[in-house]
Structure 1
Amino acid sequence: MLQPTYSLALIIASLTIATLASYTSLHLTGRIATVSGKNQRLYWLTGGAIAMGLGIWCMHFVGMLSFSLPIPLGYDFGLTAASLVIAVLVSFFALHLVTREKVSLSRLFSSGIMMGAGIAAMHYTGMAAMRMNPAIQWHPGIFTLSILIAVGASTAALWLMVRLRHQREKHLLLRRIVAALVMGIAITGMHYTGMAAADFPLGSVCTVASEISPNWLALTIAGLTFGILTITLMLSILDARLEMRTNEYVKSLTTVNAKLHHQAMHDALTGLPNRSLLFERVRHALVAAERARARVALYFIDLDGFKAINDSLGHAVGDALLQEVAARLQQSLRKEDTVARLGGDEFVILVEGLPDVGMAGHIAEKLLECFHDEFVPHQLGMRISPSIGIAIYPDDGKSVDELISHADAAMYEVKTSGRNNYRFFEAAMNASTRRAIDIQRSLPAAIQNDELFLVYQPKFSCDRTHILGAEALLRWRHPKLGMISPAEFIPIAERSGQILEVGRWVIEEVCRQLQEWQTAGLETVRIAINLSQIQMRSARIVEDILGITVKHQIAPAKLMFEITETVAMQNAVETMQTIEKLQQAGFELAIDDFGTGYSSLSYLQQFGVQQMKVDRSFIHNMAISPKGYSIVVAIIQLAHSLGIEVVAEGVETEEQLSLLQDLDCDQTQGYLHSPPLEGNAFIDLLNQPFAPVVGVAA
């Protein structure tokens, strides 16, 4: 027998190629497993099979080249090519199997046998390409062992490919390297076992020694295989990274889209569902309730006096308060109930599966309890109450708009009848409440759209020779409702907290007109402006007023502020502090509608106001009732004893004026002298040559 020899360097090279081919196969398995498109999967399977098959085949032939005999050797081109085709087909089969979604254990073993047989066929076809004469003799035991090794190595390789195909495995790189090394040793071991099974009799000749040069074959195979495996591996890695980045981008895009959808359907401040999501849920709830013949309750909640808190203490405090209210409402209800914020201080609650109307009232009581404890936004303790309106499906409406509108109407009924309560909708509420709601919601637009305007009612000296001042009176010309009386919209503005914004507009407009008149060189007088209770409670009222006067370059002495007797006495201590600040800033104060409320002479003296205005009801009665006359006498004497000027409101007859002159009343105001005039008409009256003498304006 011819004695073969082996090149250690080529043995190591064959092991290296087998390991590299195994690692590339493992990486390709993970890559192909993530491909979704059929065409794209086929491309990767084909390319991967060529690279993997070439790697196995290359390892086989480098191993063959490490084997040498003391005779010239060569290889038949056809059989060599056939062995390569077998290697590629076996690789395609293996990759197709292990990249399937599910691989059963029985399929794994049967495929291992088939793949082992294929690799053995490749190996022995490659050895047959030597065309030895006489033929190679085989040791049956070692031959069988090589096939068993091929089957075992193939089964192990398939199992490792399946196990490590998922990209999310921990320590994936290290596991694949170790697995590739194990697979490389197994494949190499099968090859050299198969080589050991061959015997070459003495006198054997290779009949194709001149066909393919072993040296040329070695260089060509090694270079080509290393190049293809390296390129395939790099492409697989780069493509996997590209897909990973694409997936990350898609994931981030999905996350952003989800966030945008969430933002579109939720309130940014409280995180509660907004109007859009609420209406969608109500619609679904009504469909389900109709099917199940069940009831649904809608609660419309408005926070009493929130706007005043927001405007006086700042938006940060207001926002924190809304967040705390939202949290309490959610805690008091079931998880399946919906708490939504419509905007501002308006919340709507949807409760499904209501057994009866009595349960709706019980839930409303729980909602009221949410407001019993003090709220502490930004560590500022405060109490706030809700007005809650309730509408029940199907009794009070069968559509989203109907139920929302009727719950809103019921809520407004609570507002007008004392607040801090709840009411169920009643059909009688609709007409009167609808107008009040329309007025309340139209107020912000009225300011923006110049629907509000001022008129000025002059104050005359009692002898009618001087115009000593004027009172600014607010009017509203609504585009649909026409002229709305201040007696109607001012109380609504006070209840909703919008009076702060309206009041600021009045002060701003008075100062703007005064500046305009002064710039034109016209004579002006002190203008009186009414302040509401909410304005007097505002912590920044004096700073805000001073800011407006500085902006328009108006001296504080040009303005007088009027507060009613009731407002003055509701919180006398706070009122006195605000009055002192206004007076220190240079503004004068007047008590309006004196005699209609409850007064404390002690506080009246401490207030130090400059004017006291006698209510028109007393002026009307003084000429027809001795008691009415006596009351006016007492008021004038009291005021004069305190050093306070007296202004009589609502003077409409000469008789009233004559009696007031006899009592030494200081100023009169009423239709006898002049109705309220718009700005241009008032300034014309004030500056015309034949007008009464204008009094000295401070």
Structure 2
Amino acid sequence: MQSSYNFWLVGISFVVATLASYTALDLTGRIYLLASARLRHAWRLGGAAALGVGIWSMHFIAMLAFSLPIPLGYDFATTAYSLGLAIGASYLALHVATHEALTAPRLLAGGTLMGVGIAAMHYTGMAAMQMTPGIDYRPSWFAVSLVIAIGASTAALWLAHTLSNDDARNVLRKRLIAALVMGVAISGMHYAGMAAADFPVGALCGAAKGVNAEWLATSVILFTFAILIVTLMLSRFDARTTFLVGAVSNLNGQIVRLATLDTLTGLPNRATLTERIERAIHSSRRQRSLFAILFMDLDGFKTINDSLGHSVGDEVLSAFAQRLLLCVRSSDTVARLGGDEFVVLSENLGSREDAGALAQGVLDRMRSGMWTDSQPLQVMPSIGIALYPYDGDTVEILLKNADAAMYEAKRAGRSTYRFFERSMSEAATRTLQIQNALHDALAAGHFTLHFQPKFHGNGNSLAGAEALIRLHHPQLGTLTPLEFIPIAERSGQIVQIGYWVVRETCRQIRRWIEQGLPSMKVAVNLSPRQLLQPNLVATMLQIVTDAGVQCEQIMFEITETVAMHDAPRTIEMIREFQASGFEIAIDDFGTGYSSLAYLQRFRVKQLKIDRFFTNGLDEHGAEGSAIVSAIIALAHSLEMDVVAEGVETESQLDMLRSMMCDEMQGFLLGKPLSADDFSEMLRGRMLTT
């Protein structure tokens, strides 16, 4: 018999096939990402029902689009059986596609079973027409329909597994294209099967007295679209919910990491270290065992940070953290407290010597180890060791004592280790007291200036003075610069203190001028941290100008060690000071690592011989005299004046005069005086002359 098709329904069947294919791909991606086996199974069942209805509906709508010159209908039971086959094939497809490892044999087996299932659904649906006599099938077209079914199923499984990652780039566009291809394949299989069917002339449909075909088509179309769209919406909603849950979980993980780990190095932070030390205390108390706290910071790290920048400093810290992990036992805890401070917690030690061996091992490995982090800078730590229970029984005390021991290691020459001793606690307490005193010293007016006179070498005439700062604290008493300057330098407070010294010196110079006293040239020391300030010269010039003092009345002193640390920068700084009208002196000459080439390029006004060499004039006889004489001759050849510090004996004074030393200062000639006493000295000298 001659057959025909309703092309509107044919088009709708293709749309249903495409939508069902897209739903299958989306469900595969959803199921693939589920961690729970029970949820995966539930989604497979629900998805198989929706997908099976979609595939079956495509077939059924296409059957409704088919017409013969005789009335047609479909047996309900057989049609329902074909729906069951579609759902079963869909479950098989989802099960295969959502398996983590889709091997070629599994793909071929799954594609074959699914294709056979879809073909069985199709031909079962055809049997629901109950034609008499029965439908004849052309073998060639029947084989083509089966090949298309298996090929389309295999391709669908491969595409579904390939596009199962929601995070893949352009995955939605790829799924839509794949759904169109699968829709064409599924439709092609159906219509190839229909082409295989041969309806004899005079045949009758035994199920013709069923439901109205138009009403049935409309119902199936609406029902199918509703199921597929709702399934897609549920899948997207669940995917969004899972994404939000995962995002919250990741955020919680990041919060936990931020709360417990150092963000730069990934090591445990202070809070985590505190918790582990507390556990170690409880465990060691029960087991009567020993553990050690190794407190360390990097020697010279501040110089790296200041000269090469914080990014390089961060790289050095990260590299050191990884190296340190390789230097200790796997059971040890390595933590970063902040800055360049690291702590190692080493538990279950047999003796004090074990802790010393661990510290020495760290130093040896850091000094000579071959590292793979490509970090060219060789950094060494100074290490302080505190032992439980001998050096404390709380986290705070153990860390404080280990810190005190670390500073003792620095004072002992750096790049070494020291065990905590009780005397260190007293020194640490004193340091803490001075730190606290420095916090409000400027505001409270605890600082004062003393002035030590400098004299010309050819007589007793006054050449100038050196400003020396003192700290008078209500509880601590009078503190010398040797006590508080290093602490102020480490804390950074030295910058503001240095500005105060210049400001107070200028104020005192103005006071002498207003009192009609001789105008004095005053030397002021510059600290290493001050020299790192980018606007140092401009700030000093502003202070002096505001005070109404001539720049020639201020001489800045830079120690030789600091000057030679970064000689090119020192030269640039000296030139800037000199261009502003200030004079520069190199202090403590001979104690650093002088370079005659750079000394010539400095072109400073004065060299100050360190008191070590001045004392050597008495202690070392001819040898001491030869050294001082050579320094003076060198300075004069470079057109620099020479100032000898620490002149305390008449013999030293006589020898320095015979060597043509330009200026001298020391207790023999004049001790540091308060501003008022220095004024009285100036006034007395005016009266005697």
The two structures have a TM-score, normalised by structure 1, of: 0.64
Structure 1 Cα separation of the partners of residues 252 and 205 of structure 2: 75
Q: Which amino acid aligns with 1:413?
A: E
The correspondence of residues 167-566 of structure 1 with structure 2, limited to 5 A, is 167-168=163-164, 173=175, 183-184=186-187, 212=212, 220=218, 224=221, 228=225, 232=228, 236=232, 240=236, 262=257, 265-267=260-262, 272-285=267-280, 295-304=290-299, 306-307=301-302, 322=317, 325-372=320-367, 386-427=381-422, 429-436=424-431, 439=434, 442=436, 445=439, 453-457=447-451, 459=453, 469-476=464-471, 481=476, 483-490=478-485, 492-493=486-487, 498=490, 504-515=495-506, 522=514, 525-526=519-520, 528-529=522-523, 531=525, 535=528, 546-552=537-543, 553=545, 555-560=550-555
Question: How many Å apart are 1:471 and its aligned residue?
Answer: 3.7
Structure 1 Cα separation of the partners of residues 268 and 596 of structure 2: 41
Find the residue that maps to 2:398 and give its secondary structure: helix
- Taking a change above 3 Å as real, the CA distance of residues 325 and 450 of structure 1, as seen in their structure-2 partners, is farther
Q: Do the aligned residues in 2 keep the contact of 1:456 with 1:472 (CA within 8 Å)?
A: yes
1:642 match: 660
1:676 match: 674
Q: Do the aligned residues in 2 keep the contact of 1:324 with 1:375 (CA within 8 Å)?
A: no
Q: Does 1:568 align with 2:589?
A: yes
The correspondence of residues 80-229 of structure 1 with structure 2, limited to 5 A, is 127=129, 137=132, 139=134, 166=161, 167-168=163-164, 173=175, 183-184=186-187, 212=212, 220=218, 224=221, 228=225
Question: How many Å apart are 1:23 and its aligned residue?
Answer: 1.8
Q: Which amino acid aligns with 2:604?
A: Q
Greater relative CO, 1 or 2 (CA 8 Å, sep 6+): 1
- Taking a change above 3 Å as real, the CA distance of residues 253 and 485 of structure 1, as seen in their structure-2 partners, is same
Q: Which amino acid aligns with 2:338?
A: G
1:661 match: none
Structure 1 Cα separation of the partners of residues 12 and 180 of structure 2: 17
Structure 2 Cα separation of the partners of residues 472 and 437 of structure 1: 26
String of CA shifts for 1:578-626, please: whole Å, max 9, x gaps. 6983734xx78586688435652221343444544555xx4xxxxxxxx
Find the residue that maps to 1:407 and give its secondary structure: helix
Question: How many Å apart are 1:68 and its aligned residue?
Answer: 0.8
- Taking a change above 3 Å as real, the CA distance of residues 175 and 306 of structure 1, as seen in their structure-2 partners, is closer
Structure 2 Cα separation of the partners of residues 597 and 318 of structure 1: 42
Question: How many Å apart are 1:429 and its aligned residue?
Answer: 4.0
String of CA shifts for 1:219-242, please: whole Å, max 9, x gaps. x579x469938x9469839965x8
String of CA shifts for 1:215-274, please: whole Å, max 9, x gaps. x877x579x469938x9469839965x877887787677667656655565555555444
**Which of 598, 615, 624 is the matching residue for 1:596?**
615
2:571 match: none
- Taking a change above 3 Å as real, the CA distance of residues 489 and 178 of structure 1, as seen in their structure-2 partners, is same
Structure 2 Cα separation of the partners of residues 13 and 542 of structure 1: 79
Q: Which amino acid aligns with 1:236?
A: L
String of CA shifts for 1:387-428, please: whole Å, max 9, x gaps. 322223444444433332232232233334444432233445
2:565 match: none
**Which of 9, 13, 18 is the matching residue for 1:20?**
18
Question: How many Å apart are 1:337 and its aligned residue?
Answer: 3.7
Find the residue that maps to 1:642 and give its secondary structure: coil
Q: Which amino acid aligns with 1:550?
A: L
Structure 1 residues without counterparts, runs of 5 or longer: 129-135, 619-630, 651-666
Question: How many Å apart are 1:695 and its aligned residue?
Answer: 12
Q: Which amino acid aligns with 1:228?
A: F
Find the residue that maps to 1:351 and give its secondary structure: strand
String of CA shifts for 1:556-596, please: whole Å, max 9, x gaps. 43234577999333237359956983734xx7858668843
- Taking a change above 3 Å as real, the CA distance of residues 345 and 112 of structure 1, as seen in their structure-2 partners, is closer
Structure 1 Cα separation of the partners of residues 678 and 370 of structure 2: 49
- Taking a change above 3 Å as real, the CA distance of residues 447 and 386 of structure 1, as seen in their structure-2 partners, is farther
Structure 2 Cα separation of the partners of residues 694 and 583 of structure 1: 34
Report the structure number with the largest CA radius of gyration.
Answer: 1
1:621 match: none
Q: Which amino acid aligns with 1:638?
A: L
Structure 2 residues without counterparts, runs of 5 or longer: 101-105, 561-585, 618-623
Question: How many Å apart are 1:669 and its aligned residue?
Answer: 3.9
1:133 match: none
1:67 match: 67
Question: How many Å apart are 1:635 and its aligned residue?
Answer: 0.9
Q: Do the aligned residues in 1 keep the contact of 2:31 with 2:44 (CA within 8 Å)?
A: no
Q: Do the aligned residues in 1 keep the contact of 2:587 with 2:608 (CA within 8 Å)?
A: no
Q: Which amino acid aligns with 2:225?
A: I
Structure 2 Cα separation of the partners of residues 64 and 528 of structure 1: 110
- Taking a change above 3 Å as real, the CA distance of residues 217 and 234 of structure 1, as seen in their structure-2 partners, is closer
Structure 2 Cα separation of the partners of residues 90 and 448 of structure 1: 91
Q: Do the aligned residues in 1 keep the contact of 2:133 with 2:203 (CA within 8 Å)?
A: no
- Taking a change above 3 Å as real, the CA distance of residues 226 and 277 of structure 1, as seen in their structure-2 partners, is same
| Range with greater deviation from structure 2 (551-560 or 167-176) | 167-176
Q: Do the aligned residues in 2 keep the contact of 1:32 with 1:44 (CA within 8 Å)?
A: no
Q: Which amino acid aligns with 1:583?
A: V
- Taking a change above 3 Å as real, the CA distance of residues 151 and 97 of structure 1, as seen in their structure-2 partners, is same
Q: Do the aligned residues in 2 keep the contact of 1:60 with 1:191 (CA within 8 Å)?
A: no
1:33 match: 31
The two structures have a TM-score, normalised by structure 2, of: 0.65
Question: How many Å apart are 1:26 and its aligned residue?
Answer: 2.3
Q: Do the aligned residues in 2 keep the contact of 1:54 with 1:84 (CA within 8 Å)?
A: no
Aligned residues: 618
Structure 1 Cα separation of the partners of residues 223 and 537 of structure 2: 86
| Range with greater deviation from structure 2 (385-394 or 542-551) | 542-551
Find the residue that maps to 1:300 and give its secondary structure: strand
Residue identity over aligned pairs, in percent, reads 22
Structure 2 Cα separation of the partners of residues 21 and 460 of structure 1: 98
**Which of 617, 634, 637 is the matching residue for 1:606?**
634
String of CA shifts for 1:479-506, please: whole Å, max 9, x gaps. 875654434334x54xx9639x566545
Structure 1 Cα separation of the partners of residues 117 and 276 of structure 2: 59
Question: How many Å apart are 1:366 and its aligned residue?
Answer: 1.7
